[in-house]
Chains A and B, each alone.
Chain A
Amino acid sequence: MSAKSKSEPTRRDFLYIATGTMGAVGAAAVMWPPIRLMSPDASTLALSSIEVDVSSIEPGQAITVKWRGKPVFIRNRTDKEVEEAGAVAIDELKDKEARNQNLGAGPATAVNRSAGEGKENWIVMIGNCTHLGCIPVGLSGDFGGWFCPCHGSHYDTAGRIRKGPAPENLLIPPFEFISDETLKIG
């Protein structure tokens, strides 16, 4: 064998390698269906969007709705809260990205985190802490926003991470106001 391997590759060597490769590809192909079976199924994926009536939420109030099995915070902020959130310097933030796909990329200003110009009192966010997914408690914490009791993350009134182990600002789902009263999430 050792004498042979030093010489030119033979037709037999080629056949061994080709057979081995086909075997590996075949084994991988056979494994794919059971692996893929564990991914979210069609019925889970079908729960893509919901509509919420927000007309009864007064300034300073907030509700939580369920979207894709996750809580979504909808908060109508008071003018004072919006002003305070706007006064925070971007440099002080742990996560400086707005992470608001509805308005495009930008710094995490109070407006960029909200529903946009004219509706900056509305803030809509996925209610799972960006650390390990617990639900932060509203209207609490050192910054008047949300506080996650699991591992001690504090978010401000714009849902920006200010203190604690969470790496990012609270995520913002895709949403739009269909009318002044109805919000569509997803």
Chain B
Amino acid sequence: MSGGHSEYNPSNGFTKWLDARLPLPRFVYDSFIAYPVPRNLNGWYTFGAILAIMLIVQIITGVVLAMHYVASTAGAFNSVEFIMRDVNYGWLMRRLHANGASMFFFAVYIHIFRGMYYGSYKNPREVLWILGVLIFLLMMATAFMGYVLPWGQMSFWGATVITGFFSAIPLVGTTIQEWLLGGFAVGNPTLNRFFSLHYLLPFMIVGVVALHVWALHVTGQTNPTGVEVKNMKKETVPFTPYATIKDFLGLSLFFIVFAWFVFYLPDYMGHPDNYIRANSLKTPAHIVPEWYFLPFYAILRAITFNISIPFTDIVLINSKLGGVLAMVGSIAILFVLPWLDTSKVRSASYRPLYKQFFWVFVVVSVLLGWLGSKPADGGYVIAAQILTAYYFAHFLIILPWLGWYEKPKQVPPSIADAVLKKKSTAAQPAE
């Protein structure tokens, strides 16, 4: 859609001189000012911009927090309290950073579900989608390591459980785990390397985000109809001012919620156990990860059984490896989503059955998150097992089957047709 045609006209001597040497202003103009976006984008499409701003917020608050944080088992816990009490605006920076992580994930989940609803991952945007899943994975790694840094009880035991995943790998698991920890258990070397990597990964996210935006600008954005732009003049508007202003509106509303948590409920997303200093001889009665990992945590705990060759005692996959494989699989399956959804129609607006299954999937994901926060026994485990099975069935059975079985509604021939039709029906309500 960007199409290689540039509308940038350097206006003065300096910009003409620079344009012939490093056409950076041309690049910015073509990407963020003249760049054409479909005119029918709705509010759900502002979350890309919100996420970009959240990444910048996290990096700025993180860089200044790192100036006062002490990455050692002896000093970490105290340094965080020192930041809260003695450092100028330390309380604000830390509240923004901790709650910012939650808001970042909240926005990314809406962004992902929006992509699923409107079929944004379909041909020709598979690479755009895969880069997005990669960003999601990097975000998870960054958030996990960040949560270890305050060195509270949840930090320590979260790190123990998550690095324990690697010990599930047959034969070399324990060696890999000890290599990651730098010891036999989570300790000072672990905390130090997590701090180092927690500082590194956000910049890798910036790199992949650049590729994500590049891929977006090659194919152009989707829109709620799922129909590609056919008439640039009629169906698109320039990014600035139209999309910029809309993104600012979305961002403002989002920041109201963000500020509400930062100033009125700053510890709501956290866990009280993390205000107890890490103790390697005592596990909290009930370990839970941050809320944004809960659905995956529920899937991990759902596998309580060994998978054996029937009628023998030979265990193929034990319950521990099975749980880790299911959890990794629940994210990895997103990489192949563009090929599992066989329907040619993008938007759920024209797919009556998919629309219902989409909402069932959203509810299942939320319920899995709720189960992840509950203790691992009795009915909770059985419910998690059923929902885990459904989670995978959604991707592996329902989506391929729907593409073949479902009869989609008539897709409008163009964006202009869809928009104008809506307007004319709205104009004559009497019928």
Contact = CB atoms under 8 A, between A and B. Distances in A.
Contacts of A38: 179-180, 182, 193
A71 interface: yes
B198 to A, nearest CB: 15
Contacts of A68: 183-185
B166 to A, nearest CB: 10
A41 B165 CA distance: 22
A178 interface: no
B252 interface: no
A165 B301 contact: yes
B287 A41 contact: no
B323 interface: yes
B281 interface: yes
B189 A44 contact: yes
A124 to B, nearest CB: 16
Nearest to A127: B281
A66 B180 contact: no
Interface stretch (A81-89, A110-118, A131-139): A131-139
A152 B377 CA distance: 6
B376 A152 contact: yes
Interface in B144-184: 157, 160-161, 163-165, 167, 178-184
Nearest to B323: A165
Given A150-B161, A165-B320, A94 B184 contact: no
A69 interface: yes
Chain A contact surface mostly: loop
Contacts of B184: 40, 44, 68-70
Nearest to B175: A39
Interface residues of A, number: 30
Given A132-B161, A152-B377, A69 B180 contact: no
B160 A134 contact: yes
Nearest to B376: A152
A130 B320 contact: yes
B187 A69 contact: yes
Q: Which 4 A-B residue pairings sit nearest by Cβ, starting from the closest?
A: A132-B164, A69-B185, A167-B318, A152-B376
Given A38-B180, A68-B184, A69-B280, 16 more contacts: A39-B178, A40-B182, A69-B187, A133-B163, A133-B167, A134-B161, A135-B281, A135-B282, A149-B287, A149-B375, A150-B161, A150-B283, A151-B301, A151-B376, A165-B303, A167-B318
29 contacts: A38-B179, A38-B193, A40-B178, A44-B182, A44-B183, A68-B183, A68-B185, A69-B280, A70-B280, A96-B313, A131-B164, A131-B320, A132-B320, A133-B164, A134-B160, A134-B161, A135-B281, A135-B282, A137-B283, A149-B283, A149-B284, A151-B301, A164-B304, A165-B301, A165-B304, A165-B323, A165-B376, A166-B319, A167-B318
